[in-house]
Structure 1
């Protein structure tokens, strides 16, 4: 009987990922903290107030992983929270977040981290080594229904070992140079083990078998300054600041950031209606990146009267893969001639010039920009050439033109594909591409799918052509987009369903390569193969943010960093604040009919 108890206890320990003996800390580690990088927040910042913003659709889940979790709301729940370290937004050096300092192991596979002893979850529980260990356990579990995470945390992350409650070592499965090693391991965020209350039995992996259902709308405690406070399903979500005693303010790089006390997110499904809410004063800031908004729809009385200011700030943010993703698993799109024809029939350059006021920049490479020597600069986007497009379509068998001008093949099938996109404001862009494509005998239909549902639609590989862009890191990644492990399968980012043995081999070599020069060379090879396959038609890049904001929002000088993507985001770099005195002054002036000078701010500190 005692032997059974001992055996069961051992199985429980194993399931939970606990180690009986803590790992040892080498004596010769060189600890790094980079405490002297420039501060990018302002000492003038004020704490308080409610920042009001919106989403176009209510999230399909509050889970941080699993089905439907990769939508827009993920940014609020996961991407915005502290990592162990993060790149400084100006110098790109690693600076502390959850970890006060770190050290590289001599095996080229391990990094030791000392966790800030003040770090707490928003429910007051301490963040400890066990939360990092549980994060790996969670991400490896089949119960989360997330193949990408299962694979990554098995093939890339060997594990987390506890030195003590606030010291851990994270180990990669492969030896890597320091830059790659940190890039692989830095964003392993802890998960609150006490919140998930794992079910324990002899067959358990420590994660609830019904994880997807049980935690679908249960927001976990936050390690960041904001936590989910109030939810009106389908209508609104509110976040609340932990308070001025938030543990993060013991880190110099967090001081005078995250200054608003509350965040209220309303669901407003139509962008035009959202803009009206903004111009009435119901929202504090509103994105004006789209040329039609900046040039044509932000010149009304609130702007003329100086109540709303306009901001244009340039950045140097690496931009990820995207444009039009071609799903090669759909009929005819597995034919390279059809894909080549599409590349010459899609007039992105004309769209930029005619629809977008020439503001955007054509993306030279479907796999992104801003990655330095990882980028193959020999790759250029195919120009709009309807005659050449028609030649390729004819080679694919679409060699006849019907009475409506659309090409057909010998079976009477028309050359017609649907373009899936997620924002109604993008309709004029797709409509322009549709009209231009007719010159090549191609019919494009518009498939507008609302908000987060669009990404789900694409993840499930239901699309033919998808008009969207993806984010990226400082070092580009390829496995999730083009390895055969992710082709055809739903809930993966291989949106093109394209793969090849040659590409698989290069992708795995890229992931394993220790020498940075060789790794960059492999990256350029991968990009060439993808370009030759014509599975992504390069779209455009936007090297700036443009926003309208009520004059009571204040920010540092200069406002931008190289990595500022949104100036008035309370969860990203978040250096702005609400001047409550000026808010009262402005609202009073509006009642009295008093006006201020119109203001347009252009911060070109980081314009290339």
Structure 2
């Protein structure tokens, strides 16, 4: 018999089978009429070979060091209760087949797909959503953001029966935001974490969760489970046998390859050579110098490799150059404002990225509709204006090396932390331009996932970093005082203010959509005034190369496509497939030095 776990001050139902009652006269809804996502031409089978630039710090999806690496494979892109259709943006069934709104503006009832199972064969049930809340509220996961969100935003998860749950928010929300908040929830496998030691806390989560599960493979409801892992070198994802997802028409003809093999190749140039030799099947061509200059070799000219460029309408998250306001000198707003005008992102976009990228209008991102439709524009590069601010901060002298100093002899010098070698030319450009204002940027390249760990530990002065986002922008994690001056939070600027706290909390609880838009505008204005992030760039498209036997549907892009073919960063929608006959023909052609017609596909239907 399973032990009953009681949670204080929350409405939780245990794994013992207790159930809430289903209200009468609910209006159950579903949506099986949206266009299907996969192609009927898709073929099952084959192995996709791709690469990672650094091995993940952990296989956990929460807790220290988890917010990078392969997180999207394990959590962010996993099936949730419902999903947005990637083109119509209407809600469609995912783990839940039907849903109904309660009359309290807080609750949605979900009927789960009874066919859904975990990759280890255990059925996925309402208990796994009950456990999800218990899991995220536990202090043992060492994840303050999750502790807060799943306490102060998600109020309760109640089991009606094995395949019906009622989930509620803490505050009233309009239907669209309510579904956005609750429909995106992903279960956790209760059976995987069951039976903790007797000496552990009564929340059901192991006291040593962080260490115990650092490299344990959690069962998944997604199409691929992690198989062989060679730490620091490579790992393999295997397709889940008889995956339940194919009972959902929106998953049919998707996730077609049997295996995804990833090897760690830290140097991008070396990885590209492996790709062009046929050792990798896909390679990201987002970087302008790669697309425009380095794709003129024989494999492209002979049609062995397809070049693909597709535009999307994916919301863009916060980012650019984050300033750690807890660091000396950066606690002076005049220094920060000077940095805003001494950082030449516009020139970097034009000179280094060939104008392919676009400037973010605001530090908190773009593409959230009315939430960020406030007419914001990024600060221009203006060395003279930067100098005026630096002088107000006391840096009114110029050293022999051209860098400003104050009367204490402190140099106006800050290190920029970043994680990828290919970004070095961009940082170098910013460094050279900043000298015009007497500002020195030094370069602090930290390997991949280690760079984000470095920033989470708040060791940085400046961080060259872009964050993900969703359709409704989040502000609490980035700017509320609860997350300032703490490690393992996303307040990378360590900035907060009582006025901003008040606006953020009002924004989180606001029911009226129009008022929420206005609060968003006010928050963005306050963030601009704080001058803690130099708005960076955005890349509103997908650019990849893949061998000709990696096939994609006609008109393959959707508004929400972030990767056409699975790479080491994002799993994507899995609409591609491998044509084994074409692969054999391609290998024969290479042996015979036979060429095909070169192929470059440009899908600009969603170009802004």
Question: Same fold by TM-score, threshold 0.5 exceeded?
Answer: yes
What is the correspondence of 1:16-165 to structure 2 with a 5 Å cutoff? 17-18=14-15, 21-165=18-162
Per the normalisation by structure 1, the TM-score is 0.97
Q: Is the 8 A contact 1:480 1:494 kept in 2?
A: yes
What is the correspondence of 1:264-413 to structure 2 with a 5 Å cutoff? 264-413=261-410
| Structure 1 residues 557 and 400, CA gap change in structure 2 (3 angstroms) | same
CA offset digits 1:81-130 (Å, max 9, x no partner):
10111111001111111111111111111011111000000010000111
Select which of 210, 229, 232 maps to 1:231.
229
Q: Is the 8 A contact 1:16 1:205 kept in 2?
A: no
Select which of 193, 196, 201 maps to 2:193.
196
Offset, 1:264: 0.2
Q: Which has the larger displacement, 201-210 or 377-386? A: 201-210
SS of the counterpart of 1:446? strand
CA offset digits 1:216-265 (Å, max 9, x no partner):
1001011011000111111111000013x211001011000001110001
SS of the counterpart of 1:195? coil
* In structure 2, C-alpha distance between the alignment counterparts of 1:393 and 1:328, rounded to whole Å: 16
* In structure 2, C-alpha distance between the alignment counterparts of 1:519 and 1:286, rounded to whole Å: 41
Select which of 418, 423, 427 maps to 2:424.
427
Q: Is the 8 A contact 1:112 1:168 kept in 2?
A: yes
What is the correspondence of 1:518-533 to structure 2 with a 5 Å cutoff? 518-533=515-530
* In structure 2, C-alpha distance between the alignment counterparts of 1:424 and 1:309, rounded to whole Å: 25
* In structure 1, C-alpha distance between the alignment counterparts of 2:373 and 2:412, rounded to whole Å: 32
Offset, 1:588: 0.5
SS of the counterpart of 1:163? strand
SS of the counterpart of 1:383? coil
Q: Is the 8 A contact 2:13 2:158 kept in 1?
A: no
Q: Is the 8 A contact 1:13 1:19 kept in 2?
A: no
SS of the counterpart of 2:543? strand
CA offset digits 1:272-324 (Å, max 9, x no partner):
11111100101111000110110111111110111011000010100000011
Partner of 1:209: 207
Partner of 1:592: 592
* In structure 1, C-alpha distance between the alignment counterparts of 2:498 and 2:177, rounded to whole Å: 24
Offset, 1:76: 1.3
* In structure 1, C-alpha distance between the alignment counterparts of 2:107 and 2:195, rounded to whole Å: 28
Offset, 1:197: 2.1
Offset, 1:64: 1.6
CA offset digits 1:352-411 (Å, max 9, x no partner):
111111111111111010011100432211111111101100000000000100000000
* In structure 2, C-alpha distance between the alignment counterparts of 1:79 and 1:584, rounded to whole Å: 35
| Structure 1 residues 164 and 527, CA gap change in structure 2 (3 angstroms) | same
Mapped pair 1:241 → 2:266: no
* In structure 1, C-alpha distance between the alignment counterparts of 2:7 and 2:285, rounded to whole Å: 53
Q: Is the 8 A contact 1:343 1:382 kept in 2?
A: yes
Select which of 558, 562, 567 maps to 1:561.
558
* In structure 1, C-alpha distance between the alignment counterparts of 2:7 and 2:443, rounded to whole Å: 54
Mapped pair 1:505 → 2:502: yes
Partner of 2:172: 175
* In structure 1, C-alpha distance between the alignment counterparts of 2:35 and 2:552, rounded to whole Å: 16
Where in structure 1 do 4 or more consecutive aligned residues deviate above 2 Å?
8-21, 200-203
* In structure 1, C-alpha distance between the alignment counterparts of 2:300 and 2:41, rounded to whole Å: 25
Q: Is the 8 A contact 2:37 2:251 kept in 1?
A: no
* In structure 2, C-alpha distance between the alignment counterparts of 1:458 and 1:9, rounded to whole Å: 40
For structure 2, the residue ranges without an aligned partner over 5 or more in a row are none
Per the normalisation by structure 2, the TM-score is 0.97
* In structure 2, C-alpha distance between the alignment counterparts of 1:97 and 1:17, rounded to whole Å: 24
Offset, 1:13: 9.0
Partner of 1:459: 456
For structure 1, the residue ranges without an aligned partner over 5 or more in a row are 1-5
* In structure 1, C-alpha distance between the alignment counterparts of 2:37 and 2:606, rounded to whole Å: 14
Q: Is the 8 A contact 1:352 1:361 kept in 2?
A: yes
Offset, 1:201: 4.5
* In structure 2, C-alpha distance between the alignment counterparts of 1:164 and 1:412, rounded to whole Å: 70
* In structure 2, C-alpha distance between the alignment counterparts of 1:259 and 1:30, rounded to whole Å: 36
Partner of 2:481: 484
* In structure 2, C-alpha distance between the alignment counterparts of 1:456 and 1:198, rounded to whole Å: 31
Q: Is the 8 A contact 1:12 1:201 kept in 2?
A: no
* In structure 2, C-alpha distance between the alignment counterparts of 1:96 and 1:10, rounded to whole Å: 31
SS of the counterpart of 2:251? coil
Q: Is the 8 A contact 1:12 1:200 kept in 2?
A: no
| Structure 1 residues 9 and 127, CA gap change in structure 2 (3 angstroms) | closer
SS of the counterpart of 1:196? coil
Offset, 1:40: 2.6
RMSD between aligned alpha carbons? Answer: 1.6
* In structure 1, C-alpha distance between the alignment counterparts of 2:5 and 2:78, rounded to whole Å: 33
